[in-house]
Amino acid sequence: MSVTDSDAYPPIETYGVVGNLETCALVAPDGSIDWFPFPHLESPSILAAILDAERGGRFRIAPTDSFETERRYVDDTNVLETTFRTDDGTVTVTDFLPPAGRTDHPKKVLYRKLACTDGNVEVEVELEPRFDYGRAETSIERVDGGVLAEGDEERTLLESPIDLEIDDDRGRITGEASLEAADEAWFMLRCTGAEDADTDPDAALAETIQFWTDRAHDCDPEDDCAFEGPWHDAVVRSELVLTLLTHAESGGIAAAPTTSLPEDIGGVRNWDYRFNWFRDAGFTVQALMNLGTADEAVDYFDWFMDLCQTDDPAAIQPLYGLHGESTLEERELDHFEGYRGSRPVRIGNGAAEQRQHDTYGELLLAVDEMHQYGRELDADEWMRIRDIVEYVREIWTEPDAGIWEVRGGDDHFVFSKAMCWSALDRGLSIAIDGGHDAPLEEWRDARETIRSDVLENGYDDETGAFVQSYGSDALDATGLLLPVVGFLPFGDDRIQGTIDAIETTLVEDDAFVRRYDGDDGLPGDEGAFVLCSCWLIDALALSGRVEEAQSRFETLRSYLNPLGLVAEEIDPETGAHLGNYPQAFSHIGIVNSALYLGYARGLETPGPAPMGIRLGDPVVSS
C-alpha cells in the first residue's frame, strides 16, 4: 500500500486535540498521536505521521483485535477520551497534558491512561519518535523507568508499566499487555526536562480537568445569555479551542496547531499556521470578552500592544511567532511526503514579509473593543496608536497583498481600503472618548476621502455589489464585513446588494461560502471557508434576516466533527475538512455568529453591544 493511500491518513476531521498552553498533540481515532511539536507549538515535531505516514513518527495505544471507537472530551475540558470496543471487552485511553503553570504537575509530560471497563482486552503500544521533523538521528536505549529516545536536541522517556521491546532497525518501541475489567495502566511520555520529575498521574488528571472546567463558559436558560440555545455546546468547545491555542507565557493565540494540512488534497496550498495573525485581533477580543474569558483576552491584548511599540508602523507585520518572533522564514521539508501526498510541506510563513494594510484597521478594532470594556491607553500606548493612524493616512492609496495573502502580486483590495477607513474611524473615536491629543480634523478628512474613494472605485454598479479590488468584477466574502466594521449601515442598498450577490456567486449548498472568485496566483482549488460562512450568517442576522441566518448556522454547525472541532475549510461536496486544524478563526466565527444571533433574538450580552451592532446601523428584527 502506498503511503499516499487515504487509509494511511485518517480524515483531518477525525482527529482530537489536547495540549498544555505551549504545544498541542493530535490524536487519531485509532489511538495514534500523529502530531506533536515540542517544546512549543511552533517547534520541530517529535511525532508527525500526519505529514508522512512512514517517516513522521507516531505514538499509538490500541487493541490488537478489530475495534470500534467512540470519542468524547471530559465535559467542558480539553481532556480527550477514546473508547475502543472489541468483541471481548472495552478499554478507554485518556489523553492530556497538564496546562503550563496552571497545576503543580510537570507540563512536559504527555499522559495516556489506559482503563479496561469490561471484559478482557489485548492492547499494543507503539512509539516511533522522529525528532526535528524526522531529520535528526535517533538513538533508543533502556534506562531505569522505561525507554529513552534521543535526537540532536530533544529526548523522550516512555515510562511504561509493561515490558517494552526496541526495534533498532525501525527506530520503534513496542509492547503488549492484557487488561481485565477494572485494570488501569498509565503511559507517560516524558519530554526534555521532565525525565525525572515527580508525577502523580491521577492528581494531574484531576487538576487538569478542574483547570479547564473553571474556564468554560457557563450559563443557564434563565440567564437570558446570548450564547444560550442549541449551539451552546459548540460555543463552549470553540472557547476551549481558543484557550488551548493561547500561549501561557506570551498570551499570543495561534491560528492553528498544525502546519501544511492541505486546502487542496494533493495540491500546493499548504501553509504553516502556528503563528498569530493580527487580522484576528478585533474579533478575537470580542469573542473572548463576551465569553467571560477576560484573562486570556487581556493577555492577548497586552501582547499585541507590546508588539506595536515601535517608532515605525511600517515595521508592524501581519503575523508573528507566539513569542513575538518577527523572522518566520518559509522553508520546505522535502523529505516529507505531506498529508496524502500534498506537497510541499512548509514550515515558517512568508506572509510575514507582506504588506497587508487591513492589519491596521483590525488592530484599531481590537483597541476600540478593549476601550469599550474600560481599558484605558497610557500616554506611550496612545503615541504608538496615533502613529499607526497617521501612517495609515499616508499609505492607504498604495496596493497591498490583502487579507487573503495572495501570491499573485499586490492590488488595490477593497477590504484593505475599508480597513484603513476603519483605522481612522476607530482612532477618532478612541481619541475623542479618551481625551487624547490627535489631529482630529485631518483624520476626519482622510476618513471621508477613503470612504468616497471606496464607494467610487470599489462598488460595481453592474454587479450591484462591492468587488474584491478596484477595476475587478470578482466578488470577495470580505464584502460581508463592511457593515460589521461600520463602513456602511446594514440597511444600505449597496450592502444588501453585496449580500445577495455573494449568496448567488460564492455560496454552495446553502451553508458554505468561498472566499472569492478571483485569481490568487496559485494552482488548484480550495474548499469553502468556515469563517466566511460565519460572516454571511452575521450579515444576515444583523440585517434582520434572523430566521435565514439561524437556519444557515444550524446547517454549518452540523459539519463540526463529533468533538465540536472544525478546520479552516470544508469541502461542500463531501463535507471533508480541509486546511489546518482545528482553526482558531473558524472557532472565533462560531462564537461571534452565536453572539450576533443571540443579540438579534433579543438576548443579553455581558458587555457592550457586539461590534457589528455598535459600529453599524443594523435592522434587527424583533
Sign of the dihedral through C-alpha 20, 26, 32, 35: negative
Of the candidates 65, 63, 98, 97, the one whose C-alpha atom is nearest the C-alpha of residue 83 is 63
Q: Which cell numbers hold the place of 184?
A: 488501569
**Position 399 confidence tier, pLDDT thresholds 50, 70, 90:** very high
CATH class, range 16-211: mainly beta
pLDDT band at 220 (very low <50, low <70, confident <90, very high): confident
Among residues of the chain, what percentage have pLDDT more than 90?
86
Give residue 451's pLDDT. 98
Q: Which of 143-152, 273-282, 472-481, 520-529 has the lowest mean pLDDT?
A: 520-529
**What pLDDT is recorded for position 622?**
34
Over residues 68-93, the pLDDT tens digits come to 999 999 999 999 999 999 999 999 99
Does the pLDDT of residue 237 top 90, yes or no?
yes
User: Which residues lie closer than 8 Å to 99 by C-beta, 6 or more apart?
Assistant: 20, 21, 107, 208, 211, 212, 248
Which amino acid, one-letter code, is at 44?
A: P
Comparing 342 with 612, which gets the higher pLDDT? 342
CATH class assigned to 229-613: mainly alpha
Residue 1 is predicted with a pLDDT of 31
Rounded-to-integer distance, Cα 599 and Cα 593, Å? 10
Mean of pLDDT values over 319-348? 97
Element housing 149 (H / E): strand 146-150
pLDDT reported for residue 524: 82
Mean pLDDT of 457-470: 97
Burial class, 452, CB count within 10 angstroms (exposed 0-12 / middle 13-18 / buried 19+) = exposed
Is residue 566 within 8 Å of 587, Cβ to Cβ?
A: yes
Q: Yes or no: say if 263 and 255 are a contact pair by the CB < 8 Å rule.
A: no
Measured distance CA(40)–CA(249) in Å, rounded: 11
How does strand 16-19 pair with strand 319-320? Answer: unpaired
- Mean of the pLDDT values across residues 528-557? 96
Mean pLDDT for the stretch of residues 457-466: 97
- pLDDT for res 6: 62
Residue 472 buriedness (CB in 10 A; 0-12 / 13-18 / 19+) = buried
23 vs 228, which has greater pLDDT? Answer: 23
Give the pLDDT score at 617.
58
Nearest to 320 by CA among 272, 352, 354: 352
Cα distance between residue 187 and residue 506, in whole Å: 48
Question: What's the whole-number mean pLDDT along residues 30-50?
Answer: 98
Q: For residue 146, what are the CA distances in angstroms to 62, 115, 135?
A: 19, 20, 24
CA within 13 Å, CB half, 122: 6
Q: What is the pLDDT of residues 153-197, one digit of tens each?
A: 999 999 999 999 999 889 999 999 999 999 999 999 999 999 989
- The mean of the pLDDT values for the chain is 94
CA gap 64, 175 in Å, rounded: 11
pLDDT higher for 596 or 145? 596
pLDDT in tens, 273-313: 999 999 889 999 999 999 988 899 999 999 999 999 888 99
Res. 566: pLDDT tops 60: yes
Residue 307, CA distances (Å) to 126, 382, 385, 399, 402 in order: 43, 14, 12, 24, 21
Average pLDDT over residues 259-271: 96
Give the mean model confidence (pLDDT) for residues 392-413: 93
Is pLDDT of 470 > 60?
yes
Asked if pLDDT for residue 620 goes beyond 50, the answer is: no
Residues 488 and 237: their CA atoms lie apart, in Å, by 33
pLDDT in the model for residue 4 = 47
**CA separation for the pair 446, 453 (Å, rounded):** 10
Q: List the chain domain ranges.
A: 16-211, 229-613
Average pLDDT of the residues in 557-568: 97
